[in-house]
């Protein structure tokens, strides 16, 4: 049984390129995980623990630039080695404060890519380039009906070190708490089918979810029903008035014992 395969995270919004390069690199003996966007890559990155990230810069959403910003430390080093795929030559200013392991022109010749991947892995291994991660990963259920906010919270919490299950309804939140067994559930007060107060009340009745902490936001929104606010049985510090992502994250980190 093979256990020593080096891991590559391939990030590009072109499905045909992902398939072609992914199959080629897999055939060459690498374990390859594909991501279709910077947001998708952030979610998949920490659980996968890649030895190298092959990153396209020209993607929609946060794109390659936004992804690199998220994984770059204050000293310019990156959480994982990065090989940049780019069709543009005028990006020197952006990369000036980032320690990028390598660059290759796009479209790239697969043998050239293979050679560059091998070079980077050899050099970073000799430098002892490896990311340390906490031994215990905190688990989180995020319940948000608005897709864009749900995706933002999923990305931000994943980047903060959580393993995240993101759902859209109250019923799905309850089910995820039972099956996923998270440390906490973060949810909007008003959810489709079952409001947050109902989810919390049912969680307290079930033996496997009684200890799950709940953080609820959206109390000051026009949609908020006073009955649901009054029935919500959670500590005051777990109640958030608005949809501020930073406040939601900070409060959740405090509740779950994060930094």
CATH code: domain of residue 76? 3.40.50.2300
Q: Is the dihedral of CA 30, 35, 40, 42 positive or negative?
A: positive
Residues 105 and 173 both lie in one domain: no
Residues 154 and 188 both lie in one domain: yes
Residues 170 and 216 both lie in one domain: yes
Residues 111 and 169 both lie in one domain: no
- Of 152, 203, 213, the C-alpha closest to 178 is 203
pLDDT tens per residue, range 229-244: 999 999 999 999 999 9
Q: Indicate whether 20 belongs to any domain.
A: yes
Give the bridge partners for 34, in sequence order.
10
Lowest mean pLDDT across 4-8, 69-73, 88-92: 88-92
Q: Indicate whether 143 belongs to any domain.
A: yes
Q: Could you say which of 93, 126, 159 is where a domain stops?
A: 126
pTM score, two decimals?
0.63
Please state, in angstroms and rounded to a whole number, the distance separating the CA atoms of residues 135 and 137: 7
Q: Could you say which of 126, 159, 174 is where a domain stops?
A: 126
Q: Is the dihedral of CA 46, 48, 54, 58 positive or negative?
A: negative
pLDDT tens per residue, range 166-222: 999 999 999 999 999 999 999 999 999 999 999 999 999 999 899 999 999 999 999
């Amino acid at each position: 049984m093979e256990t020593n395969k080096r891991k590559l995270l391939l990030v590009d919004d072109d499905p045909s390129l992902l398939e072609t390069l992914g199959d080629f690199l897999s055939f060459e003996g690498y374990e390859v995980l594909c991501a279709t966007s910077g947001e998708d890559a952030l979610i998949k990155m920490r659980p996968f623990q890649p030895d190298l990230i092959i990153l396209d810069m020209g993607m929609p959403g946060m794109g390659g630039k936004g992804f690199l910003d998220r994984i770059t430390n204050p000293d310019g080093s990156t959480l994982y080695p990065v090989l940049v795929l780019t069709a543009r030559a005028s990006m020197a200013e952006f990369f000036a404060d980032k320690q990028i392991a390598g660059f290759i022109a796009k479209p790239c010749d697969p043998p050239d890519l293979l050679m560059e991947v091998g070079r980077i892995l050899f050099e970073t291994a000799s430098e002892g380039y490896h990311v340390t991660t906490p031994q215990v990963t905190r688990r989180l259920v995020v319940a948000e009906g608005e897709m864009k906010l749900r995706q933002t919270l999923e990305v931000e919490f994943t980047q903060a070190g959580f393993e995240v299950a993101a759902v859209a309804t109250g019923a799905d939140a309850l089910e995820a708490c039972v099956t996923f067994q998270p440390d906490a559930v973060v949810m909007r007060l008003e959810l489709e089918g079952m409001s947050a107060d109902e989810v919390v009340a049912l969680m307290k009745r079930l033996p496997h979810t009684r200890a799950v902490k709940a953080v609820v936001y959206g109390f000051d929104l026009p949609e908020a029903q006073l009955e649901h606010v009054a029935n919500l049985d959670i500590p005051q510090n777990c109640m958030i008035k608005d949809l501020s992502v930073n406040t939601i994250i900070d409060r959740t980190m405090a509740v779950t014992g994060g930094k």
